[in-house]
Amino acid sequence: MSKKNEAEAPSEQTPDVVETPAEKSKKTKPRNADLDLKQFNYHASGGFMLENYLEYISTIDANEKRDFECYSVEPLIKDRYPGMKDTPRDFVGIKLKSDKPVQTTSIPLKHAINLNAEGSVRMNGKYYLLKK
């Protein structure tokens, strides 16, 4: 091929269709697609107990970005020794104030854990849960 023909021939490296970042994001799988979140009922009428949820998220890479929904919540507090005077009270779960999240965000798991610190829930009434 002559140099003139090479310039006229379309390059094999150039794609015919250029995708925008929005189109690419639609084709990618959601960040939480590999997680089994069906086992957790965030909207349980009696509240959502965190013990199994916290155990489950401890198996996930803490540095990996995940999709979270931030809910307005009320903390569920339980007496450690029911009926005993001045018993310690433990934070055991949350009850959602609304079925709709306040916001949705993508952050590393370790940041969500820090945002969900016990004092944070009691002070500002917000909790980040993995988006289903």
Q: How far apart are CA 38 and CA 111, in angstroms?
A: 23
Give me the residues paired with residue 94 across strands.
48, 75
pLDDT score, position 26: 52
Interval 27-67: pLDDT, tens: 567 899 999 999 999 999 888 999 999 999 999 999 999 99
Q: Domain boundaries in the chain?
A: 41-132
- 123 and 72 Cβ atoms separated by less than 8 Å: no
pTM of the model: 0.73
Q: Which of 19-23, 80-84, 91-95, 111-115 has the lowest mean pLDDT?
A: 19-23
Interval 3-37: pLDDT, tens: 555 555 555 555 555 656 655 555 567 899 999 99
